[in-house]
Amino acid sequence: MSTRAALPKVCIALGLPTVEKLLEQADKEVAAGERFLEFRLDYLNRPEAGIKALTVFLGKYPDVSLLVTCRRHQNHGKYNGVIDDQMKILDAAIDAGAHAIDVEIETAEKTIERLEHMRAKAHLIVSWHNYEGTPPLEPVLRRMMKVPADAYKVVTTGKKPSDASKVLALQKAHPKVPMILLAMGEAGFPTRVLCNAQGSVYTYAAPNSVEGTAPGQVSAKVLRQLYRIDKLTKNAKVYGVVADPVRHSLSPNVHNRAFQAKRLDAVYLPFLVQPTQLKDFLGMCEALPVQGFSVTIPHKQRILKYLDVVDPLARRIGAVNTVWKKAGKWRGTNTDAGAVTKPLGKRIKLNRSTVLLVGNGGAARGAAFALADAGAKVVITGRNSDRVRAFAKLCGAEAVAKDQLNGRKFDALVHATPMGMWPHTKECFFDGVLPADLVFDMVYNPLETELLKRAKAQGCAVIPGLEMFLAQAAQQFEIWTGETAPASVMEKAALEALLK
């Protein structure tokens, strides 16, 4: 950057249709402690009216840094005017006190001399956006650097996990070039958390109470409080959860709070990984580098073929939920298994019990083998009779069709399918009377599922999925860090997230 005061590290992007709404939201952000806002004048019904908004705002808040953008619709903005009028608006914004302007490369290439004069008075950010994917970025940067600027903003769209590492790699390759690097969309989310620690000039965040201006933006409050982006160093250890979908996972809340409690330079991210993208994800892990990750739906069985070492129990189960790197090798285990028998064992004598297990996926496999190893008689049911029979044969259990459960009674019922999970909260595998006095639902979001509501109404004892979730998460934390898990901190974080 130039010799002017550096811009703050988090920019709140404000794109609203009227001056009144823009100023109202800007007031809220400043009241929340934010000190760097972007006014997207192209979002206004009359972009030129935004100059007055700038004057009013900076009159009230002279210590707040203001970035102004007026992107043309040809470049995925909303401004319909010609380049000359666009530049007049940006020039007026600088005269009104804007600290920085963002000009898309397509405009910047045609106005280099004019921008040089404007740059004498404000930071110039030259930006390039790709809304289709993440192409090779070296040619993009070479093109951009032909325009003298204070920073170069490269924004792609994340379609696969490695897109995030590809974007961040540009900064590593050019450590002395001031850049803002982001991949939009859920797959690109890790860039929003990690870019500053990797050397970006700043990152973007959404406002607290209205929509952001790009897919994948989250609020500054989330970036600072949950992901602690202000505290991360470039050597921060990266962990995460691999899932599809992943957006509503509780794991980032729980593990990030645990890292904070132990004062670790580490962060835990949600990684959206589709079933065909596991190999690509592991390539990204090498590049970031990721030290370990949780595995959940639908990857617990598929992940095995990508691991170097799998512990015997997880191998027998055929499902892994915890992966970490040691001595250059990816290792896998299953912390779900013990997290099933531990809460059940507190309530019944497993070696004298018959347990009905619902499901045949990765979580069910862990439960079946753990229960059998504890001496329980396991009976398995589910929606797909063929899969249930094959699974039961594999772990020495009895297979029962759902319609054959009438009249049977079990010491405990363990539900291990996604039925009833948010947002499908009204779903329940059972229609009538539950065939057990103790009901354990592995689903933890919502806290009280439809199955648990019915169990309570029937007078059954219940074990909520959160108990299992926390037990397996604590074990994961200890495997990754070698430290004792702060169990009460993790439970508090989980409850806060679920009860929001």
Q: What is the CATH number of the domain that holds 145?
A: 3.20.20.70
Q: Rounded to whole angstroms, what are the CA distances from 401 to 99, 134, 388, 452, 468?
A: 68, 48, 8, 22, 26
Q: Output the domain CATH number for residue 435.
A: 3.40.50.720
User: How many domains does the chain contain in total?
Assistant: 3
Q: Do both 73 and 20 map to the same domain?
A: yes
Residue 3 lies in a domain: no
Structural domain span for residue 446: 337-463
The residue from 78, 160, 300, 377 that is catalytic is: 300
Residue 312 lies in a domain: yes
Q: Do both 206 and 243 map to the same domain?
A: no
Q: Do both 306 and 386 map to the same domain?
A: no
Q: Return the closest-CA partner of residue 467 out of 353, 380, 340, 320.
A: 340
Check if 172 is active-site. no
Q: Do both 359 and 279 map to the same domain?
A: no
Mean pLDDT by 10 residues, the chain (500 residues): 74 96 96 96 95 94 97 95 97 97 98 96 97 98 98 98 98 97 96 97 89 81 95 97 92 98 98 97 95 94 96 92 97 94 95 97 91 97 95 94 93 97 94 95 94 97 96 97 98 93
Task: Report the amino acid identity of residue 218.
Answer: V
Q: Do both 350 and 299 map to the same domain?
A: no
Cα dihedral 456→460→463→464 (10° resolution): -20
Q: Return the closest-CA partner of residue 196 out of 162, 163, 231.
A: 231
Q: Do both 163 and 296 map to the same domain?
A: no
Q: Which residues pair with 333 in a beta bridge?
A: 322
Residue 483 lies in a domain: no
Residue 489 lies in a domain: no
Tokens of 450: 């439809």
Indicate the residue among 285, 308, 334 that finishes a domain.
334
Residue 126 lies in a domain: yes
pTM, whole model, 2 decimals?
0.92
Q: Do both 25 and 173 map to the same domain?
A: yes
Q: How many CA atoms lie within 13 A of 68 on its CB side?
A: 29
Residue 479 lies in a domain: no
Q: Do both 251 and 228 map to the same domain?
A: no
Strands 203-205 and 266-272 come out as unpaired
Q: Do both 353 and 297 map to the same domain?
A: no
Q: Do both 78 and 207 map to the same domain?
A: yes
Tell me if 300 sits within 8 A of 432, measured CB to CB.
no
Q: Output the domain CATH number for residue 267.
A: 3.40.50.10860
By CB neighbour count within 10 A (0-12 exposed, 13-18 middle, 19+ buried), where does 437 fall? middle
Strands 329-333 and 322-326 come out as antiparallel
Indicate the residue among 234, 259, 293 that finishes a domain.
234
Indicate the residue among 296, 315, 334 that finishes a domain.
334
Q: Return the closest-CA partner of residue 289 out of 311, 267, 313, 318.
A: 267
The pLDDT assigned to 3 comes to 43
Residue 101 lies in a domain: yes
Distance of alpha carbon 36 from alpha carbon 26, whole angstroms: 10
Residue 247 lies in a domain: yes
Distance of alpha carbon 450 from alpha carbon 71, whole angstroms: 48
Q: Do both 401 and 437 map to the same domain?
A: yes
Q: Return the closest-CA partner of residue 93 out of 53, 34, 126.
A: 53
Q: Do both 319 and 450 map to the same domain?
A: no
